[in-house]
Amino acid sequence: MKTFTTLGLLLAVIVMPKGIYAQLLNPDFEQWDSTSLSKPSAYRVYGQTNQVPGYNSPFAVRVQRNTQLSDGPGAVLYGNPENGFKGGIPFQARPDSAVAFFKYHIVPGDTAWFLVFLKQNGQFISQDVFKLAGSDSTAFHRLSYKINYQGLGSADSIIVGVASTNPDLNFQGSFVIVDSIHFVSGALAFQIPNGNFEQWQTIVYPRLTGWMSNNPQAIDQANMPVTRSNDHITGQYACKIQNVLVGNNQYLNGYIMLGKQGNNGPLPGFKVNGKDSLLYVSYKCFPQGDTINIAILMFKNGNLIGMGNFRQMYTISSWSQAVVPISYWQNNIIPDSAAIFCSAFQGGGQVHGATVLYVDAMSLNAPPSSISSQWVLPVKAYPNPCKNSIQIDCPKSITQVKQVQVNNVLGQVYTLPFVLSNGQLLIDTQNLPMGNYWYKVLSNGQTLSGSITVKD
């Protein structure tokens, strides 16, 4: 099963031409609606799932890749496919074979997958991917597969699922209808919960207009990874992204994407016609062992030619601004499209806890004017670049300073010593490594923000 591709490159800040900017879709996260999804109860689902007549009972499930989003194969699954498969459901047995009834149509070159991973004390004792090819969609066929054990003893849990297509390829049109998944050992039969797909539920989930999320993978509608938040910096709403506990210490990771999910990471989601240089995002976050991630990817003819990435592993409890510089591999290539990815975990990394990320007021190249008028005050910082210290001329409204923080392009945060005297704020930078930083001065109800460079 495809996992999310790591979004992590070290970036350098470079200056790009201004004046030709891309238009983001729904950048203030004001536009929301809802949609419903019918799914077999308790399973995680991917792509398109439909209820259809069963083999010897009312219902079976039909799975197929989502042709609009290309967000991985159509699949039903017990378990978490991220980072080598985690979780699963209790299962006490050591069966000889895995059995199910199938109808299927697999396009030439593609294969469907029937996954059976048995575990004992958290360790795999079997890892089988049984593959289907060809076409036989007129009647159900009972298919039995021998389980290949790598360890001794009985299992205590199982990961099991069916995917309509090879998740590592990009075939369209394959589908699988499956019913009555069970396991046998001699004359004994072992069932899994809802293995005959008779129990279904309809989940209504919020949908952020223009953006993709993993809400369709939620097990129930009470625990959605992406929701509309009344805690905002502009307009009426912001977007709340969180990792949701789905049982057995496993989490459904929270993310949104202005783009499509490809086999090797995000695909373009909106057009650009110039070299955008900075992505601004208002955010706050509450990590629980995770690192939040905000990234922009720039493409030319579908090929990645540049990107910017911002990460934060510390709690930021009040609205702050992430400034994400965009770096390009070659200066003479102009991108034609882009994608943006925001997650409550580090792309490609394991989810550790119920981390929460809020995002609002997103723009390219210049901070939104509405933010500037609310909480970012224009100030002068000099000398810039600096070495041992930098001075900021504070507005008259700043009478006290509570804290001075800077963060670099990797999201690392430093708290700096300072002295405020007669409206001049002297900040000690001598212990900062050489590089580019964005500073935040927390004052009496106001925030000063900007960028500085520390030289050797």
Residue 110 CA to chain centroid, in angstroms?
27
What is the bridge-based pairing of β-strands 238-242 and 59-64?
unpaired
Whether the full predicted model's pTM is greater than 0.75, yes or no, is no
Residue 297: C-alpha distances to residues 104, 227, 307, 397 (Å): 37, 24, 4, 39
The architecture CATH gives domain 209-367:
Sandwich (2.60)
Instruction: Tell me if domain 209-367 and domain 375-454 are identical in fold.
Output: no
The yes/no answer on whether domain 42-191 falls in CATH 3.40.50.2000 is no
Looking at residue 38, its pLDDT comes to: 87
Compute the distance between CA of residue 16 and CA of residue 28 in angstroms, rounded to an integer: 24
Per-residue pLDDT of the chain (456 residues; tens, 9 = 90+): 333 222 222 222 222 333 344 568 899 999 999 988 888 998 988 888 899 999 989 999 999 987 655 556 889 999 877 656 778 899 999 999 999 999 999 999 999 999 999 999 989 999 999 999 999 889 999 999 999 999 899 999 999 999 999 887 778 899 999 999 999 999 999 999 999 999 998 888 899 999 989 888 787 778 899 999 999 988 899 999 999 987 767 788 899 999 877 656 788 888 888 888 888 999 999 999 888 999 999 999 988 888 888 888 889 999 988 888 888 877 788 999 999 999 998 765 678 899 999 999 998 875 554 333 333 444 678 898 899 999 998 877 788 888 888 876 555 778 999 999 988 999 999 999 888 777 778 776 566 766 788 887
CB 393 within 8 Å of CB 424: yes
DSSP state of 330: -
First to last CA, the chain: 47
Beta strands in 313-417 (DSSP E): 316-325, 327-328, 337-343, 356-364, 376-377, 380-382, 389-393, 401-407, 413-415
**Residue 373: predicted pLDDT:** 32
CATH superfamily, domain 375-454, is Immunoglobulins (2.60.40.10)
Coil vs helix vs strand at 318: strand
Domain ranges of the chain: 42-191, 209-367, 375-454
Contact 322, 335 (CB under 8 A): no
Q: Tell the residue number behind the tokens 């039909």, with chain if given.
A: 62
Q: Give how far Cα 329 sits from Cα of 128, 186, 270, 437, Å.
A: 41, 60, 20, 21
